Structure 1
Amino acid sequence: MKKDVLLALGLLLSPASQLRLAGGAIGPGEICFALWLVLTAVQNLGRSDLALTSAPMRILSFWLLFATALSIGALTTYAMGIRNDPAFLKHDIQAYILVAGISLFCVLDPAALKRLNNVAWLLASLGSAFLLLQLAHAWGLLNIPQLQPWYWDRLRGWSENPNQLALVCIGIGFVSLHLLETSVRPIARTAALACTVLPVLTGLLTKSDSFLLVLAVAGPALVVLTIVNWLRTKPTQPGIRWTLAWLCILAVPVMLVLAAPAAQIIAKNSGSIERQLVDSNREAVLRDAPKRLDLWRQAIEVGMSTGMLGLGPGPHLDRARWASVNAKDVGFEFRHPSEDPVANFETHNTLLDLFTQGGLIAALSFGWLFISTFLLAVRNNLASLAALLCGLAVFSMFHFIFRHPLLWFVIALCLVLATATNRHPAQAGQGS
């Protein structure tokens, strides 16, 4: 149980980058991960019941491919005479070793199903308490020196970036929905449902566009996948879920017919609100979209210039040519990419960043692992986790989340549950 607490605390505290030592990459989250890895390695040392089942084989195969891709990329960098910043190189290598160890040890344990289920409950419960503390700090109920929970009007909690907190909220919220979906006892279902409230409220306070987009995509995906799961049950006598699923399907044409007149009524009565929303977001969209597209174009150019082999770990884009900011950003901990002849900027798109580092091998291998995990989740009726993977895919289009341990915990949880479902269908579907 102590190990499970360490893993859950690591997942929650690692994005709290304001808690890290000044100028370093070590904080409470990283310390928890290090302790968990050491304890897990010592416990598994010399065990005879360890077996490379399908879940460990998938994870191990991916990391071998990824390590090969990064090695080829590093050799390509050396052959082309390109300089890499040693600090960024060291940072990425350390991060990749950390998440590789977390993902492998999560699935390698013979009792992985029980342990990951415990960690999921700890993530939901401790995560809600963790968010509550950050909200209390943000509203002045707690006084924690040297921590600034607000980035202007956006809540960032104890992270340096509001999007880091938004990613944590996405993970806690959908893991709580998974526990609600798989739990049997009413008290457990009630607790899981309660754990979904604070992640949504906190995520909205971050004002993260990516968070809203995840809700817009993953929410409907969850509804569709849940209905599909209900229809798959094939009951001998139609139950309430099976009946409700068919009612939802039959209601779709009616909703489409009513949508047009309803939209006209809403448009007439909310013109001022619509104009306000459009005016407040148009400037940001017009300013950020060309910059993001320019970053994506640069990443593709860098990857193609290496023969799709990549350039190894670290950022590989030059300082953004468009690096200008709003007046309100100046003077409030705003940090430009450093003025350095060495490339030190990332694409903020997971697949494209992997493409610049490990070339086509890295991008395709991660795409294979992610998509195959999603298909396993769908095939084994893990609707909430499949929807979470959809949300993470959306989030990854605008952020480099490959180094986030939360992503790898979700992948490991899906693989372990899918394997357990294939072996013990009755046992795998039961939560607390």
Structure 2
Amino acid sequence: MKQYKNAVVMKNLEIIWIATAIVLTNATQLRLSSLPVGPGEVMLFVWILFVIIRLGILKYHLLTPIFQVNFCFWIVAFTSLILGFVIAELMDVTSPSFPHDLFSFIFALLFSTSCSISEVFSKKPQRIISYVISGTILLLFIIFCFPSLLPFFAPWYGGIRFTGWSKNPNQLALLLSMIPFTALHLLNTSRSFVTKTWYFWLIVFCFVIGSATQSDALIISWAVGFGIIVFLVIFGALQNVLVSQNFTYLLKRVYQQIIGLILILISIISIKFVYQNIYLASADVYDKGGQGSDRVTLWANGIAALAHSPLFGLGPGSHSGENGPFLDFEAHNTFIDWGASSGIVGLTAYITLLAWVAWSAWRKGFVVLFAAVISLAAFSSFHYVLRHPIFWFYLLAIATLSTQSSKTTYASAHLTKKRQKTYIKDEYSTICVE
């Protein structure tokens, strides 16, 4: 009994540790000016070591589909990055930011792999996400409304954009990007009215704080995600109302075609509207050390860099520029920046990873999580997010939630030890214990 209580305490501490570390990775104002990492990254590194040591001692690891897909992605990614670096060396266009990006990718590899093999992350993703989004909104609400309580933060960027504890409002936007979707998913799966109310207000406050960042990427990604949710909800409602009636088979088919044509028309109008807004927003610049240029130009020059080595890219680093490629500027677009670094091979792996997570959510009927993946992809079209632990946390958390059914969430605690092992084996396909 004592061992069981100690194990429960350790798991609770690990959950709190992970959630705190994720939140603090966004608190870039807490970093020392001479260091590229802060307390959040240090805490994550300690947790990674803990996972590795526990894996070696207990011989316990989950060979889940998430681990397998993540592992395959990184195998392809680093193969492309290494070959791209060799090509860049031969062409004498190696990026000066190569060491920074390489370190970031290695850290992302270690963190994402630790998440995919962690027992706590695999079995308690709801609690970890709840702590992350609750702690984030609560602290940001205090900074937003009562900045004098935390005077060591400079919460406003240029006096007009809310940046919280981050140095740049776009960094804060990444942290906020998935909170409405994950909170809405937890709201839908919760049984407690109090809990549902809590998640509702988290969503409301997140919208308020997110709007204050004035991040076009954040607003567009939210619009895309919630637009998909509304679209799918309306589609389902129309099907239930019109198709479930006692019509003949032919009339049902006619109504289905009408519904499809109406939704296609709405989609075309919506896509045109989103495209126009994206094009207008593209003129805004994501500042990087005072560098400023038209984002469209950065995209074009990033694509030009990719064209020099289309298959494997040019290795880690920034390959775009204001006046041409190879000037150590980011394109501020994950698809272009990652493509320039890892080529079509790496870009295909990235798109496949997103598609797999989206399909996992769609297959289980989690519309909100499906929309969250699309929204995250939309956000990544304006910023280079693959190097950030927050991106991998959100993506793997969504993937983990998508592999869990309502039975996993609510009934696993009632299974006997033997039945629970059998259930986990069915859920994850392969598990290695002892």
Change (3 A) 1:97 1:282: closer
Q: Distance in 2 between matches of 1:146 and 1:409?
A: 25
Q: Distance in 2 between matches of 1:78 and 1:127?
A: 42
Q: Distance in 1 between matches of 2:231 and 2:412?
A: 22
**How much does 1:112 deviate?**
3.5
Instruction: Tell me which of 105, 110, 113 is aligned to 1:101.
Output: 110
Q: Distance in 2 between matches of 1:300 and 1:170?
A: 26
Q: Which amino acid aligns with 1:410?
A: Y
| Structure 1 residues 384-423: aligned runs within 5 Å | 384-421=368-405
Map of 2:349 onto structure 1: 365
Map of 1:177 onto structure 2: 184
Q: Distance in 2 between matches of 1:227 and 1:393?
A: 23
Q: Secondary structure at the match of 2:300?
A: helix
| Structure 1 residues 14-33: aligned runs within 5 Å | 14-33=25-44
Q: Is the 8 A contact 2:153 2:164 kept in 1?
A: no
**How much does 1:287 deviate?**
7.2
1:75 is aligned to 2:77: no
Instruction: Tell me which of 313, 321, 324 is aligned to 2:323.
Output: 321
Tell me the TM-score normalised to structure 2 length: 0.76
Q: Distance in 1 between matches of 2:92 and 2:285?
A: 33
1:426 is aligned to 2:407: yes
Q: Distance in 1 between matches of 2:208 and 2:404?
A: 33
Q: Is the 8 A contact 1:124 1:192 kept in 2?
A: no
Q: Distance in 2 between matches of 1:98 and 1:390?
A: 25
Q: Which amino acid aligns with 1:372?
A: W
**How much does 1:31 deviate?**
1.7
1:351 is aligned to 2:351: no
Q: Distance in 2 between matches of 1:70 and 1:282?
A: 30
Map of 1:128 onto structure 2: 137
Q: Secondary structure at the match of 2:41?
A: helix
Change (3 A) 1:194 1:304: same
Change (3 A) 1:56 1:309: same
Q: Distance in 2 between matches of 1:171 and 1:386?
A: 12
String of CA shifts for 1:211-252, please: whole Å, max 9, x gaps: 221222111212334566789999xx99xxxxxxx9xx99x9
String of CA shifts for 1:263-282, please: whole Å, max 9, x gaps: xxxxxxxxxxxxxxxxxx99
RMSD value, Cα: 3.5
Q: Is the 8 A contact 1:6 1:35 kept in 2?
A: no
Q: Is the 8 A contact 2:115 2:122 kept in 1?
A: no
Unaligned runs of 5+ in 2: 1-11, 246-254, 267-277, 287-292, 414-434
Q: Distance in 1 between matches of 2:394 and 2:284?
A: 33
Map of 1:39 onto structure 2: 50
Q: Distance in 2 between matches of 1:105 and 1:19?
A: 25
**How much does 1:414 deviate?**
2.6
Q: Secondary structure at the match of 1:24?
A: coil
**How much does 1:22 deviate?**
1.0
Q: Distance in 2 between matches of 1:414 and 1:285?
A: 28
Q: Distance in 2 between matches of 1:100 and 1:192?
A: 31
Q: Secondary structure at the match of 2:331?
A: coil
Instruction: Tell me which of 67, 86, 105 is aligned to 1:56.
Output: 67
Q: Distance in 2 between matches of 1:64 and 1:128?
A: 36
**How much does 1:120 deviate?**
0.9
String of CA shifts for 1:31-73, please: whole Å, max 9, x gaps: 2211221222222224344242211100101011101110111
Change (3 A) 1:228 1:114: farther
Change (3 A) 1:124 1:307: closer
Map of 1:167 onto structure 2: 174
**How much does 1:148 deviate?**
4.8
Map of 2:220 onto structure 1: 213
Q: Is the 8 A contact 1:229 1:381 kept in 2?
A: no
Map of 1:194 onto structure 2: 201
Map of 1:274 onto structure 2: none
Q: Secondary structure at the match of 1:92?
A: helix
Map of 1:91 onto structure 2: 100
**How much does 1:342 deviate?**
7.1
Change (3 A) 1:9 1:151: farther
Change (3 A) 1:305 1:177: same
| Structure 1 residues 134-149: aligned runs within 5 Å | 134-136=143-145, 140-145=147-152, 147-149=154-156
Q: Distance in 1 between matches of 2:347 and 2:141?
A: 37
Q: Distance in 1 between matches of 2:112 and 2:364?
A: 20
Q: Distance in 1 between matches of 2:143 and 2:411?
A: 32
**How much does 1:96 deviate?**
1.3
Q: Secondary structure at the match of 1:84?
A: coil
Q: Is the 8 A contact 1:117 1:431 kept in 2?
A: no
Q: Which amino acid aligns with 2:21?
A: G
Map of 2:418 onto structure 1: none
1:299 is aligned to 2:299: no
Q: Is the 8 A contact 1:215 1:391 kept in 2?
A: yes
Unaligned runs of 5+ in 1: 239-245, 258-280, 323-340
Q: Distance in 2 between matches of 1:168 and 1:233?
A: 37
Q: Distance in 2 between matches of 1:214 and 1:143?
A: 30
Q: Is the 8 A contact 1:314 1:357 kept in 2?
A: yes
**How much does 1:130 deviate?**
2.1
**How much does 1:315 deviate?**
0.8
Q: Distance in 2 between matches of 1:9 and 1:287?
A: 32
Q: Is the 8 A contact 2:310 2:344 kept in 1?
A: no
Q: Is the 8 A contact 2:112 2:396 kept in 1?
A: yes
String of CA shifts for 1:343-385, please: whole Å, max 9, x gaps: 3211000010011111111111000000111111111122222
String of CA shifts for 1:286-313, please: whole Å, max 9, x gaps: 6769922221211111111124321111
Q: Is the 8 A contact 1:312 1:357 kept in 2?
A: yes
Percent sequence identity is: 27
